[in-house]
Structure 1
Amino acid sequence: MNTIRHLSRADAIKAGALDWAAAVEDIKTTIRLLHDGQAGMVAESVMPLGADPRNKAYGLPAFVGGRYDAAGLKWTVHRAEPTGDLPSISSITIINRLSDGAPVGSVESALLTRMRTAAVSAIAMRALKPGGVTSVALLGAGAHAETHLDMLVRLFPSVQEIHLWNRTKAHLDRLLDRVTPGATRILAYDDLDAALDEADVVICCTSAPVPFIGPSTVRPGRLIMQIGFHEVLFETIAATDVVAVDLWGDFAEKSAKSLFQMYRAGEFGPDRVAADLPAILLDGWQPPAGASLYFSSFGLNVFDIAFAARLLHRAAGLNIGAVLPSV
């Protein structure tokens, strides 16, 4: 009998969803497969769910060959704010085998999205700041900020201080309550400028619908990373020496990310993108010394498919998850 396997978040964690080394390797391997034509994706299909542009549902299909042998769809529903005990983002990824189309299973994937996003941030930080990082300003207090905080602590032992800021203090207090003390100093700020003051890297993980990162944030040698919704003013992007992205694609025509809004407004040309992940990982591209840097992370669904395929394969070997008949 043909079966499919479903992994809850707890199942995914048992199968290795929180393994940072595996997450980073998935990103690197998938980029190589993309470059070789063995992985691909098409533009997301977006369905608005109200007047607030943050309220939407979207489907993101992709395929990844090689050891992943997967074709899949990530289905996600975003709400502007959490409701009751529900998170603001719910997501599931469905996987079929690429080689023969057989259904494999599904994974609760909001956690996977956060892991792959932070893994991309780690790769970008290492490449764009090859001299190392000692101080990071992390803006936001939601799930993406929490995952980035864990990534920084685990993958960047050179970071001496992480400066946390969030517009809503109660949310920041909840994040601090979940922090495990360690060697890295983690400091909370009420004032945004104070949080930014000494940072080598600024990581924006907010859901802000109105940009608040102004041109004064740009400094020689500083890296501004946009992970969240629409945080960075056009003037700020224009003021940076180097603009890098995870990838430039059809999503530039639809995405609400600041850089793509700037592009659609006619104020940014794709020719100004200095590097993307393939150039960074495969071609050895590095920024000029002392340049001010901006990195826009769109969030590539092809990584979600690779992550889910890896976890489903490992879960089958360990007999993790709920197994159901497929027909």
Structure 2
Amino acid sequence: MSQESLLFLNRPAVLACLEKFDPVEVVAEVLRDQAAGRTEIPTEGYLPWRNGNGAYSRAIAMLGALHRETSSVYGMKLINAAVDNPSRGIERAGGLSFAFNPETARPELIAEAGYLSAIRTAAYTMVSLRELGPEQWDGLTLIGTGALARAHLDLLVRNFPEVRRVTVFDLSAERSAQLVAWAAGQHPQLTVAVAASAAEAVSASPVTVTLTTSDDPYVPASWIRPGSFLAHVSLGDLTEEVFLGAEAVFGDDLDLIEENPRRILGRLLQEGRVTRPGTAAAPATGPGRTVDGTLGQVLLGLVPAVRPSTGYVVSNPFGMSILDVGMIDAVRRTAVELGVGQRLDLL
């Protein structure tokens, strides 16, 4: 029997690879592939439970495939989380990303996925800001100050170096203080201030990114100043009225969003109060609106980009597995070029 092995990358090795390519461009390329119909996104595996502390915990297995002219790419992200992990001194979410050999179907690379997953999410936000954000903006608000917040600041300084003012809010004052201290060391060019409330934070900046675990909507339209952009990365921060009153609403994959009623936009789509492009909301269900399109369609020029003017624009990604597959493929190719990682024998 032939010897089989795979390459393992810990976080330092992943970070070394990320320094050599632009994750924002990787995500943009995958979004174009998706809009052009060159992707496969199977139903994700989802396993929830309560841990010994009674805290919500879950495991998500996300498979995907990219079919490009030169080759096809297959992979998976296994990302697990417990909401009380920060109290243990570890990040809320962590896991592994896999790159599969397209001929043998064997995993040929496994990488620590906690930071890689966060950077993929932040990269989507950066693409959406580039294509749909305000024409000019001078400040960013982050609601939630965990690992995703750090990844967003890492990419903010790389992609929007002119933006120096950051406002943050978290229910935990300790986590907010930790983010401020981290940013002072990692990105001293940023001025990071802690808001006294979520309302103050949202009104402080023309761009707000929600990065919480909330499933209880709390952001009303009255908090949002004209000309704002909201990246609704988490599940349930924005109220229904925010979606229904927006100048424009964009997603990443409307099928995935609609299938998940835990998301506000998903429930609105199921109820018919928000509908797909080209259709109208059913009058019987009350006031409604139409989703303007997906970010991939904007990148391909299939739907027009809408930037905020007198109102606000909402970006609501589901978080597609193919973005993780595209990212781990870029990491795999870079790891081979750099010669980083640990070779593990399987047989």
TM-score, normalization by structure 1: 0.90
Q: Measured at CA, do residues 273 and 98 of structure 1 come closer, stay the same or move farther in structure 2, by a change above 3 Å?
A: farther
Q: Alpha-carbon deviations, 1:142-186, whole Å to 9, x = none?
A: 111111122222211232421111121111001111013533322
Task: Name the SS for the 1:178 alignment partner.
Answer: helix
Alignment counterpart, residue 274 of structure 1, candidates 285, 288, 292: 292
> Gapped runs of 5+ residues in structure 1?
none
Contact 2:134 2:206 in 1 (8 A): no
2:97 corresponds to 1:97: no
Q: Which residue of 2 aligns with 1:286?
A: 305
Point out the more displaced range, 76-85 or 258-267.
Answer: 258-267
Instruction: Quote the residue 2:110 is aligned against.
Output: 106
Instruction: Return the offset for 1:319.
Output: 2.5
One of 196, 209, 216 as aligned partner of 1:210: 216
Q: Write the distance in 2 (CA, Å) between the matches of 1:252 and 1:58.
A: 18
| 258-267 or 298-307, which deviates more | 258-267
Q: Take 1:68 and 1:158, find their aligned partners in 2: how far apart are those partners? A: 38
> Residue 13 of structure 2: which of 5, 11, 15 is its match?
11
Counterpart position of 1:250: 256
1:312 aligns with one of 332, 340, 346: 332
Deviates more, 1:152-161 or 1:47-56: 47-56
* Corresponding residue for residue 167 of structure 1: 171
Shift of 1:86: 3.4
- Compute the displacement of 1:113 (Å): 1.0
Q: Secondary structure at the match of 1:49?
A: strand
Mapping 1:165-244, distance limit 5 Å: 165-180=169-184, 182-244=188-250
1:93-124: CA deviation from partner (whole Å, max 9, x where unpaired): 12212355343121111111111111110110
Cα gap change, 1:33 to 1:100, in 2 (>3 Å): farther
Other structure's SS at 1:310 match:
helix
Read off the aligned partner of 2:328 and give its amino acid letter: A
SS at match of 2:180: helix
Q: CA deviation at 1:40?
A: 1.8
Is 2:162 aligned against 1:158?
Answer: yes
2:270 is aligned to 264
Aligned-pair distance for 1:242? 0.8
The Cα offsets for residues 205-251 of structure 1, whole Å up to 9 and x where unpaired, read as: 11123111112123432111111231111122112121111221235
SS of the counterpart of 1:249? helix
Amino acid at match of 1:43: T
Contact 1:18 1:115 in 2 (8 A): no
Does structure 1 residue 74 correspond to structure 2 residue 65? no
Distance 1:133 1:40 in 2: 36
CA RMSD of aligned residues (A): 2.4
Structure 1 38/142 Cα, relative in aligned 2: closer, same or farther at 3 Å?
Answer: same
Q: Is the 8 A contact 1:218 1:239 kept in 2?
A: no
**Distance in 2 between the 1:100 and 1:281 partners?**
34
Deviations 1:46-90 (Å, cap 9, x if unpaired)? Answer: 112139895221111101234674211211212122152332212
Name the amino acid aligned to 2:80: V
Are 2:140 and 2:206, in contact at CA under 8 Å, matched by a contact in 1? yes
The TM-score normalised by the length of structure 2 is: 0.85
Amino acid at match of 1:13: L
> What percent of counterpart residues are identical?
19
SS at match of 2:183: coil
Question: When the two structures are aligned, how many residues end up with a matched partner?
Answer: 325
1:108-127 mapped onto 2 (5 Å cutoff): 108-127=112-131
CA distance in 2, matches of 1:62, 1:99: 16
Does the aligned pair in 2 maintain the 1:132–1:158 contact within 8 Å?
A: no
Contact in 1 for aligned 2:9/2:342 (Cα 8 Å): yes
Partner Cα separation in structure 2 for residue 240 and residue 4 of structure 1: 48
